[in-house]
Structure 1
Amino acid sequence: MDEVEVVVAHSERATLRVGDVFLKVDADQARLDVEVEAMALVPVPTPEVLWRKPHVLAIAAVPGTALGRLGEPSTASPAAWAAAGAAIRRLHEAPLPPWPARGKSPGELAADLDRECAWLVTNGVLPADLVARNRQVAEAALRPWTAVFAHGDLQITHVFVDADEVTGIIDWSEAGEGDALFDLAILTLGHEERLGDVIAGYGADVDLDVIRAWWSLRSLLVIRWLTEHGFDPTAPGCEVDVLRSRM
């Protein structure tokens, strides 16, 4: 009998794997609905939906292996990273999704950022100079952008490749209108050395300063959440190291 693997679990959602089937349990049914609709619309490989019931979605595993993991060197080839960039470009060129935009405006992000920076310093989580420097870097991301069909949570573990081709992109619950450079930044977070390969595959001029800004902004925003949900942003190569790399 196959074992049950807990892929991720916290108070908001959990993902379990049994053989080649993933079960996603989410307290927010709307996220599962978005995930299913997004996978039906996007022009990139996605998992097969096996069935769904209230608060539970069953999907098939995609072939291949993830590009890598945050905090670990990626063994994927430059060609595989470039293929990921090309797939992201196809996504961003697709028609916008039909559901209302759910992301935050630059002004709302700035307010969130100020709150989290204050928490990090007040509670002694990070040195004040480290927070201040990254808050300054993050400012470049707080600008108007042209909305694209964005994945919204394009972590390195969400892109699968085989023989230097993208075989599947998973976890679409945050999909919607968004900033193209945010997707590129989340994919390369902690893997700055791979950014050139991704951009080569993406095939368009991008503002690298904005991508670096998103690295800082994202890391500052998520440290408290990660800590409160049992993750370790101080692990080697993870969010705190990303912030230190900007000093």
Structure 2
Amino acid sequence: MDEVEVVVAHAERATLRVGGVFLKVDADRARTDTEVGAMALAPVPTPQVLWRRPPVLALAALPGAPLGRLGRAPTASPAAWAAAGAVVRELHDAPPPPWPGRAGRSPAALASELDAECETLVTRGLLPAGLVARNHEIARAALRPWAPAFTHGDLQIAHVFTDDDQVTGIIDWSEAGRGDPLYDLATLTLGHERHLDDLLTGYGTDAGVDPDVIRGWWSLRSLLAVRWLTEHGFDPFAPGCEVDILRSRM
């Protein structure tokens, strides 16, 4: 009999694996609606939907392994990163869905959220004021107008699966929608900056990828994540994770 593996669990949702099946439990039906709808529209490999009985969504496991993990040295080859870049570009070039995604927040809304979060990080003593101020400054590069694209919205390195230097699928689409394509590129390379050039080999440099904006998203995403991760049982202070990413900007 297959054992039940808890892949991730916190107050908002949980994912379990039983053999070749992933069971995603989410009390927010809208997130699951987004995930199923985005996978149906995305022109890239995604997990097969086996069945859905709210609040549970059952998905088939993908072949291969994640491109890497945040906080760990990636083992994927430059060719695998390039393949991931090509698939992400295919997604970004597709007609965007009619709904806004996580990467679709306006620059004004993000600026307001960033200002408030930075103040909270300092007043609660979660991070030193100098570290927050430096990364706040860098993050401003991401706060500019952008052309809407079909974005994944949570394109963490662990969400892209590869096998033999080919992408076998992308998981976790609950944040997908219209958004800034550079947010996806920054999320995928977060903590693995040296692979950005490999990623862009497949993605292409004709799309106006600005490294300063990517760096801005690295800082912005990390600043906004630290408190949430801490409050939900994760450790952003672990080696190679969000706080180390912020420190690397000093």
Where on the TM-score scale, by shorter chain, does this alignment land: which range? over 0.9
Amino acid in the other structure paired with 1:85? G
TM-score of the pair, normalised by structure 2: 0.97
Distance 1:158 1:99 in 2: 21
Give the Å deviation of 1:123. 1.4
SS for the counterpart of 1:81 is: helix
Q: Over residues 186-209 of structure 1, what are the superposed CA-to-partner deviations in whole Å (9 max), with x where a residue is unaligned?
A: 000000011110011101241000
**Matched residues in 2 for 1:129 and 1:37: separation?**
42
Q: Distance in 1 between matches of 2:230 and 2:188?
A: 21
Secondary structure of 1:7's counterpart equals: strand
Distance 1:54 1:62 in 2: 22
The letter for the 1-side match of 2:32 is L
TM-score (norm 1): 0.98
SS at 1:124 equivalent: coil
Shift of 1:98: 2.8
Indicate which of 204, 208, 212 corresponds to 2:211: 208
Matched residue pairs, number? 247
Q: What is the aligned-residue RMSD (CA, Å)?
A: 0.9
C-alpha offsets along residues 35-77 of structure 1, whole Å, 9 cap, x if unaligned? 1111111111000000001211000000000001000000000
Query: Which residue matches 2:85?
Result: 85
Report the CA distance between 1:100 and its aligned residue: 4.9
Aligned to 1:142: 143
What letter is aligned with 2:88?
I
Partner of 1:240: 243
The CA distance in 2 between the partners of 1:34 and 1:116, in whole Å, is 26
Unmatched 5+ stretches in structure 1: none
Matched to 1:192, the amino acid is: E
Give the structure 2 partner of residue 165 of structure 1. Answer: 166
What pairs with 1:1-247 in structure 2 (closer than 5 Å)? 1-100=1-100, 103-204=104-205, 205-247=208-250
* 8 Å contact kept, 2:161–2:168: yes
Write the distance in 1 (CA, Å) between the matches of 2:212 and 2:166. Answer: 28
C-alpha distance in structure 2 between counterparts of 1:171 and 1:125, whole Å? 29
Q: What's the % identity of the aligned pairs?
A: 74
Counterpart CA distance in 1 for 2:186 and 2:233 is: 24
SS for the counterpart of 1:75 is: coil
Contact 2:141/2:213 (<8 A) preserved: yes
For residue 2 of structure 1, give the secondary structure of its aligned residue in structure 2: coil
State the secondary structure of the residue aligned to 1:134.
helix
